[in-house]
Chains A and B, each alone.
Chain A
């Protein structure tokens, strides 16, 4: 069974620090990888997509992909209390099937 694994947390970081969120996946053939942010009581919001090995930066967010290790990460620089949310890692395994991890809860302390 294809799986996406995340540490459930909570991950607690002080304001201004770097938050590092990690994800591993089982399907070696996966090509597209996504990070979603979900605030409590809200729906997931796409914040980063990454398709090739290496880093992809967008503002304070950096996604990192290592297909050989089947590992995806999200770094949030200068963390703000408004970044406190659950972060979902998602992996597109093809054929319209995207597998989501259970999410990592992040708390940013002011």
Chain B
């Protein structure tokens, strides 16, 4: 595997379900990000982890719960979601202690909440 991978690529869930999104980066980076991309809206930063510590929580509802067990893996745990949470969820990584902070994205998980 190379770059940033995400699983699953597609997810359909009901509002009462619990599911998790997984992200893995193979770039040796030390920062990882979750973004939400809805139609016709800019990418919204949800969470940032640097060296496995959460450094940014962008007023995200508690039904989204991130977990970063190590610098290569990032999870987003989902529970009791709403239909408006349907979107493309993107994971990214970067060398966070670099002045330049170029972010590289995974392929995304297309989430549909029924």
Contact = CB atoms under 8 A, between A and B. Distances in A.
Interface of A: 4, 31-32, 34, 36, 42-46, 49, 51, 88, 90, 92, 95-103
Contacts of A31: 99
Q: Is the interface of A mostly helix, strand, loop or mixed?
A: strand
B42 A101 contact: yes
Contact of B102 (A46, A95, A97): A46
Contacts of A95: 55-56
Contacts of A100: 42-43
Contacts of A34: 102-103
Contact of B101 (A4, A32, A99): A32
Contacts of A51: 99-100
A43 B55 contact: no
Interface stretch (B13-21, B67-75, B78-86, B104-112): B104-112
Given A43-B90, A96-B50, 11 more contacts: A34-B103, A36-B105, A44-B90, A46-B104, A49-B100, A96-B55, A97-B45, A98-B103, A99-B42, A100-B43, A102-B41
A32 B55 contact: no
A42 B107 contact: yes
Contact of A102 (B31, B42, B90, B102): B42
Contact of B45 (A4, A98, A103): A98
Contacts of B88: 43
13 contacts: A32-B99, A32-B100, A42-B107, A42-B108, A43-B90, A43-B108, A88-B42, A90-B103, A96-B48, A96-B50, A96-B56, A97-B45, A102-B41
